[in-house]
Structure 1
Amino acid sequence: MQDASIVGAGNSVVQIVGDGNTVTAGCPHLTLTRYVARRQIRQDLDRLSPYTRSTPLLGREMELASLHTFLNDLRAMSARVLIGGGGSGKTRLALELCEQASSDGWNAGFVTRTELHRFFGQQNLSDWGWQNPTLIVVDYAAEHAELLSKWLDELTDRAVPPKHVLRLLLLERHATTETGWWTTVFASGGWGVTSKRALLDPSEPVSIRPITRVGDRLALLDNMLAQASPDRLIDLPMHDDAFRDKLMQLAWGGDPLFLMMGAFEMIKVGHASALALGRIDLADALAKREIDRLQQLAQPRSLDPALVQHLAACVTLAQGMSREDFERFASSEKAAINRPSGGDPAVLADLLELALPRINGIAPLLPDLIGEALVMRTMRQDAGALAVLRCHAAFGRPVTESVIRCAQDFAQHSRAPLHWLEGIIDALGENCTELAALDASLPMDSVVLRDVNLRVAERVHALCTAGEEALPYRRAASLSGLAIRLALVGQRERALQAAHEEVELYRALAAEHPDAFRPDLALSLNNLANRLSELGRQEPALPIAQEAFELYRELATERPDVFGPDLAMSLNNLANRLSELGRHEPALPVAQEAVALYRKFAAQRLDMFGSDLAMSLNNLALRLNGLGRHEPAVPIAREAVELYRVLAAERPDVFGSDLAMSLNNLALGLIQLGQHEPALQTAQQAAELYRTLATERPEVFRPALATSLFVLSLETREVYDAVSALPVAREAVATLAPALLHLPDAHARLMGALLDYYLQLCESSGRGPDAELIAPLMPYFTDEE
């Protein structure tokens, strides 16, 4: 079990192959683990844990090859961010990489939460070094953003180049280069920002893709069935075309964990029924199995089964507890939930150490999704919410991170995790450090978390701007996050004000320290141009977008590896600003250059740049349509749709709106070519997607829904008649009306077109217009205007 070695003398990396080892050294040292002790399979569901490595790594040849290229690059130090949803296989892939690197003579392993904090508590941290090629993996990177930022500051400020290479692999579910934990790590800290970004390989987060080959999916299912049901009560129809097609169409079919979970359910309900289950259904079914196991262990020991389940959920929220912490917490929690006779804390600890073992304590229920499902089943209604807050009071940030993951996975089915997060925000009060950590950890691209995101960003900004001693770059960074989150919830005027303030602060900082703050100024200018455009202020938006592009051109000339993607983004936005002013001719070559750059990046890393390529293709199709070049526009728009279909299947909460937008634009192109039947079908798909989105977030998606309904009505008239098209046009007007009344400058142009069209249909149909609907809108369209 124990296999520890101190490599070299003086500064050291200590690699721990087993678990639970204690090593001391005189100089700063770091302990790594490959979780060998967790490979033991004690019960069936342990096979689902990535740490047991119970199944071969299938369908990840390209990912492993890319990671080996990352390891073998000539640079002395580099970092990569690997992102993917729960169950996508990030941890399993990193474990395999560590095994292979170790066999090649590397010090390779994970650094745990406890070890990371111990490491940063050492003296003379700037003297830390390593005597072999070293790979350090940090899981749940968002939780450690501040420490990682300081660590990279230390690493990039080294006066003497290291003798051996260092690779840092950060794993997380989400990351965006605009705000959040990624910017805390790689784009904060003042003068060293450019050096930290230069460590990145590649310059943006890398998404782990689904398993795409049907043979790999079948092999993973078959392997898990063979382990979980040795008698093989279930025989997979491996060569049945319908079964294979169903497996490839499943929303979760490309995620290794869900395939393994599906295999467990196949044993119970058969393969056809198992494939009909959704992600939440699978996780909940296996959590129920774990609850039954815990209760069966509790009963012969005369322990309260409900109390055992409750405490297992608390341990899972805290991401594990030491025995000492558990006994102390269990004593208070028994009283809090009025179960004083449920069992002695020491006996409860004995049971949970048996059921959920780990070195020196009790483990959370793994994998995360099953643990989250246990928490969701246990922490119900007000009593559950109070228990979550007690866990947070006792164990802090790990509980916050667990609740965020619950919200990501379960908030579309239950609002409970959102209420838990609101309670945690209230509990943090004016704790600026913890609020900033929460702000960095929240995924910005999640629709269901947008209100929580905004509330935290507002609180952080208020605290960052309090008092004259507030540092300008911290105020600017807080404004950046605030502006983006205000825009995402449809508060565009406030977003614009924040963006203006952010630009002014970064102008002053960049004038004083250009090397450090030019990238921040460029990004803030780009965001300001977007905020102006959203409010219909295209004239002032264009020169700001132009300035952002020129800054990014300079930066990309100096550091193409770091700023090339930013340049492509600024080109795309500049093309949009030109087009909004009717300058379609100059917009076209700008849009083409953006697509060319993104094609080059996507050819190297489709997993990372696929969404950017889709976005740029969609915009190029619009530019071509604006010039009347519909023939070349339609295949480009179709390519964008197909890319977004794949992305939305993997992450509907993030890319569903992009798919709807691209479908609507494809429908417009098909209309111009006279292909009305396919245009109608495409417009119907777009409208249905937008209806769902507008139901969830009306203030954000009403204008887009109104536009898609406009297109759908046009095609309904073409394929059928004006009578059929009229109710769709009326729905479009009614949908946009609240947005017009709130922000007339932003929506008057679209509403004018909708009203003209609606009145034309009324006349063609011989129907009178809905006077009650249009009367409040007419003052915005007087003759003087």
Structure 2
Amino acid sequence: MLNINLFQFDFGKINVSSFNVGSGYVGPASNRSFDNPGELQVPWHELQGKDLDPFALLSWHTRSSNFRGRDDEMIGLEQWALEERPISVKFISGEGGVGKSRLAAEFADHMEIRHDWSAGFVDLNKPQSFNLKRSGTLLIIDYPEEYQESVAEIFHDLARLDQTELKVCDPPIRLRVLFITRQHLKDWQKVITDAKANALVNITPVVLGGLSLEAAHELYNSALVKATEVMGEVVATLSEEMMAAWLEEAAENDQALFIVAAAIHNALYPQEETIKYSGRKVVRLLVEREDSRLRNISKEIGMADDNFCSILQAMANISDAIPIAAFHELLKDTGLQNGLPAKSTLAHCLRNTGLLTGGAVCAIKPDIIAAAFAVVVLTQAQELAPELVWQALSLDLAGGLNRLARLHHDAEIVLGMHEHTLGYWLARSVYSSPDRSALLAPILCRSHLPHALLPAAVAANETLLSKTDDKKELANICNNLGSCYSALGKRQEAFEASLRAVEICEQLAAADPGAFRPDLAGSLSNLGNRYSALGKRQEALEAALRAVEIYEQLAAADPGAFRPDLAVSLNNLGPFYSDLGKRQEALEAALRAVEIREQLAAADPGAFRPDLAMSLNNLGNRYSALGKRQEALEAALRAVEIREQLAAADPGAFRPDLAMSYGAIGNIYHADGQYEKAHDSFFRGIKLLAPIFMENRQGLQGLMNNLQADYLKMCRTLNKVPDRELQDLLEEEGTL
């Protein structure tokens, strides 16, 4: 996927920093070519024409607003880039609309202008070769979650390059790879670890959030000036006081995209002197305006369904781009092409509508707008929506599913569009369709599946369950169903699926132990968790004990392959013992889990330190249950130390774990009568959790409730008034 071809020079004698020292290639190995390498570029687009599509002003590519409020991030990225190490990888993460891509693009320009680097975006869909500069090279990869196999290859190639080509250069050639993602760094950990690339990854991602008042104010006014320039309107800029009031109206209003959208809306409707709507509402209004425009075009070209052009655009938003020639096949069973003039092609009818770019209908940019538009339009075509979603995905099912999950998240979480979702329509499109389910299920069998894709995974696996007699396949389907049901909160269904998986695996393992005992152990671990979720403690313990027994035998024969699984099963075993009052046995299981994970973390800290922290936290609980408070405190403090380091590097991923550890320490102090320290620990946990609570309210509600209850209890015990600032924050987040 990524290859480097260095020219044969004596690098030490080259004085010109911009000298091209080689070329790189990104793409399939079968097409590899270093011929005619081009320059890396940032895809800026010039704004042209007075009646420009307002969405173009929302795209970071058009630079329609001043870049402000990211000075610290730019300094951090520059320091990372200029480190002496030859190869380094870093992540920029954050929700859609916070300005991740714009930050990366501005940073690339900065490195090119200030330090004479070769810097720009690479598209993993399009093979390309590029020049490497002696001074340094920066590759930016957007949406890596959509190209997971390619990203895995890149990490493997980077690990190889670090040991070969680039390491021999003196002084070293700097190669930097910057990933722009919505996922947390820990979500990429397995890919990084499997490639043995942990040493290459900078463990402190750039995590973007909202803008300050000063930055938001300048961003809004600069976007307003540009929009009025383009549209020929004159609108007064906004005062800082008015901006402050608007930011207070809704939590999401401080995101860059919503601020620019508000400016564009005011330019479109200059009679409104203030920002009248929240960021979410402004996006909805802009989408409805575009839908109305496309409906008028449908009428003008004589289509029977006024929704026709809007539907084409919605499908392209899901797919990213659809060639106009492909629509005839995709829509053949929908009746949507009724009204197309005789002997006239769709391309001919749409040639002057502005819908076509290079013979294709392309997705609206940015993604949040594309998501909102797709949901609004498909909601108006409820009966056809599932089929339209499937057809839009069919051109690239694997990549399309990742994109759909992202759009679903933007619409439901970022924009609050809960009533109709892309994930629901996808699930309806595959249910009772064995052919579609067979295509979908293998792609959706991975762990930590995005929530948007869970209903479709359930629909596909339920459909396949009655269509196969192969026992191994049946066991896999049942395990997948158990995981999906559990993630959706369907405990009884999850239990029944996991129980069936165990029964099948027991039959398979009896016939061929060498091949199927690992599957049986994994299925038993799952079953233990399902029993526990139903409150069946004895049955949970028995299943977990069987899993541990098998993993112990497997780890004895092949430690490298099965010790991590053994640690997981021991970690599960401790709470099951504890639930039954078997505290000493729970402690012994926890001690063994910590012992194994300490050894694993010593060999590979990036992969196993989070697991070690979890096991230490559990160990503290086990010691505490036995009244061994000093040992409990020592274990819990070690967990906090690790989690503080992890949370500093990736707050979104590890703050909940750290908050949980503060809660555990608070409970230990409480049991020991150290109420002031308990009070302070619970307070720190709540304060840490509150800013991210609304991002995952369902997942964090239980932890937040426990921390609040313990904190308020300590306030009453100490006769203290709860912290006013914290109460205000919790009320603002809706947790009180």
- Scaled to the shorter chain, the TM-score interval is 0.7 to 0.9
Structure 1 residue identity aligned to 2:623:
L
Structure 2 residue identity aligned to 1:138:
I
1:146 aligns with 2:155: no
8 Å contact kept, 2:444–2:453: no
8 Å contact kept, 1:83–1:208: yes
Match of 1:339 among 325, 337, 340: 337
Looking at structure 1, the residues matched to 525 and 576 of structure 2 have their Cα atoms a distance apart, in angstroms, of: 13
- Give the CA deviation at 1:642: 1.9
Q: Alpha carbons of 1:350 and 1:378: their partners in 2 closer, same or farther (altered >3 Å)?
A: same
Q: Percent sequence identity over matched residues?
A: 23
8 Å contact kept, 1:480–1:524: no
- Give the CA deviation at 1:69: 3.2
Matches within 5 A, 1:228-243: 228-230=227-229, 231-239=233-241
- Give the CA deviation at 1:369: 1.2
Equivalent residue number for residue 182 of structure 1: 188
Q: Alpha carbons of 1:342 and 1:409: their partners in 2 closer, same or farther (altered >3 Å)?
A: same
Looking at structure 1, the residues matched to 533 and 455 of structure 2 have their Cα atoms a distance apart, in angstroms, of: 7
8 Å contact kept, 1:82–1:170: yes
Looking at structure 2, the residues matched to 8 and 675 of structure 1 have their Cα atoms a distance apart, in angstroms, of: 71
Looking at structure 1, the residues matched to 36 and 609 of structure 2 have their Cα atoms a distance apart, in angstroms, of: 36
* Structure 2: gaps (5+ residues): 9-20, 168-172, 466-472, 480-500
Q: Alpha carbons of 1:348 and 1:106: their partners in 2 closer, same or farther (altered >3 Å)?
A: farther
Looking at structure 2, the residues matched to 140 and 531 of structure 1 have their Cα atoms a distance apart, in angstroms, of: 40
8 Å contact kept, 1:523–1:548: yes
Looking at structure 2, the residues matched to 56 and 484 of structure 1 have their Cα atoms a distance apart, in angstroms, of: 55
Specify the SS of the correspondent of 2:152.
helix
Specify the SS of the correspondent of 1:114.
coil
Q: Alpha carbons of 1:430 and 1:130: their partners in 2 closer, same or farther (altered >3 Å)?
A: farther
1:170 aligns with 2:194: no
Q: Alpha carbons of 1:451 and 1:577: their partners in 2 closer, same or farther (altered >3 Å)?
A: farther
Q: Alpha carbons of 1:185 and 1:600: their partners in 2 closer, same or farther (altered >3 Å)?
A: closer
Specify the SS of the correspondent of 1:233.
coil
- Give the CA deviation at 1:106: 3.5
8 Å contact kept, 1:251–1:650: no
Looking at structure 1, the residues matched to 189 and 606 of structure 2 have their Cα atoms a distance apart, in angstroms, of: 17
Aligned length: 649
- Give the CA deviation at 1:309: 0.7
Equivalent residue number for residue 377 of structure 1: 376
Looking at structure 1, the residues matched to 435 and 535 of structure 2 have their Cα atoms a distance apart, in angstroms, of: 24
Q: Alpha carbons of 1:405 and 1:474: their partners in 2 closer, same or farther (altered >3 Å)?
A: farther
8 Å contact kept, 1:492–1:531: no
- Give the CA deviation at 1:318: 0.6
- Give the CA deviation at 1:577: 3.3
Q: Alpha carbons of 1:653 and 1:76: their partners in 2 closer, same or farther (altered >3 Å)?
A: farther
Looking at structure 2, the residues matched to 469 and 166 of structure 1 have their Cα atoms a distance apart, in angstroms, of: 48
The Cα offsets for residues 511-561 of structure 1, whole Å up to 9 and x where unpaired, read as 555556655654554455467667887654433332232233334445556
Looking at structure 1, the residues matched to 529 and 273 of structure 2 have their Cα atoms a distance apart, in angstroms, of: 43
8 Å contact kept, 2:60–2:102: yes
Looking at structure 2, the residues matched to 470 and 28 of structure 1 have their Cα atoms a distance apart, in angstroms, of: 50
Q: Alpha carbons of 1:472 and 1:157: their partners in 2 closer, same or farther (altered >3 Å)?
A: farther
8 Å contact kept, 1:327–1:346: yes
1:590 aligns with 2:635: yes
Match of 1:417 among 419, 422, 427: 422
Instruction: Give TM-score, length-normalised by structure 2.
Output: 0.74
Equivalent residue number for residue 292 of structure 1: 292
Equivalent residue number for residue 489 of structure 2: none
8 Å contact kept, 1:483–1:498: yes
Q: Alpha carbons of 1:74 and 1:689: their partners in 2 closer, same or farther (altered >3 Å)?
A: same
Equivalent residue number for residue 669 of structure 2: 624
- Give the CA deviation at 1:107: 3.6
- Give the CA deviation at 1:364: 0.3
The Cα offsets for residues 36-95 of structure 1, whole Å up to 9 and x where unpaired, read as 264545422211112223223322222223323332334333333433222122222222
Which has the higher mean CA deviation after the structures are superposed, 49-58 or 294-303?
294-303
8 Å contact kept, 1:601–1:609: yes
Q: Alpha carbons of 1:202 and 1:334: their partners in 2 closer, same or farther (altered >3 Å)?
A: same
Looking at structure 1, the residues matched to 457 and 71 of structure 2 have their Cα atoms a distance apart, in angstroms, of: 37
Equivalent residue number for residue 363 of structure 1: 362
Equivalent residue number for residue 67 of structure 2: 57
RMSD, matched Cα: 4.7
Q: Alpha carbons of 1:355 and 1:566: their partners in 2 closer, same or farther (altered >3 Å)?
A: same
8 Å contact kept, 1:401–1:441: no
- Give the CA deviation at 1:481: 11
Looking at structure 1, the residues matched to 261 and 325 of structure 2 have their Cα atoms a distance apart, in angstroms, of: 32
- Give the CA deviation at 1:648: 1.9
Specify the SS of the correspondent of 1:201.
coil
Specify the SS of the correspondent of 1:589.
helix
Instruction: Give TM-score, length-normalised by structure 1.
Output: 0.70
8 Å contact kept, 1:14–1:29: no
Equivalent residue number for residue 71 of structure 1: 81
Looking at structure 1, the residues matched to 418 and 318 of structure 2 have their Cα atoms a distance apart, in angstroms, of: 19
* Structure 1: gaps (5+ residues): 17-23, 123-127, 692-785
Equivalent residue number for residue 12 of structure 2: none
Matches within 5 A, 1:630-649: 630-649=675-694
8 Å contact kept, 2:118–2:131: no
Structure 2 residue identity aligned to 1:288:
E
8 Å contact kept, 2:90–2:177: yes
8 Å contact kept, 2:93–2:208: no
1:572 aligns with 2:617: yes
- Give the CA deviation at 1:363: 1.8
Looking at structure 1, the residues matched to 646 and 189 of structure 2 have their Cα atoms a distance apart, in angstroms, of: 21
Looking at structure 2, the residues matched to 285 and 601 of structure 1 have their Cα atoms a distance apart, in angstroms, of: 40
Looking at structure 2, the residues matched to 612 and 36 of structure 1 have their Cα atoms a distance apart, in angstroms, of: 39
Which has the higher mean CA deviation after the structures are superposed, 167-176 or 517-526?
517-526
Q: Alpha carbons of 1:602 and 1:182: their partners in 2 closer, same or farther (altered >3 Å)?
A: closer
Specify the SS of the correspondent of 1:253.
helix
Matches within 5 A, 1:97-176: 97-103=107-113, 104-115=115-126, 133-157=136-160, 160-163=164-167, 164-175=173-184
1:216 aligns with 2:230: no
8 Å contact kept, 1:403–1:417: yes
- Give the CA deviation at 1:572: 2.4
Looking at structure 2, the residues matched to 364 and 507 of structure 1 have their Cα atoms a distance apart, in angstroms, of: 52
Matches within 5 A, 1:755-770: none
Looking at structure 2, the residues matched to 556 and 483 of structure 1 have their Cα atoms a distance apart, in angstroms, of: 27
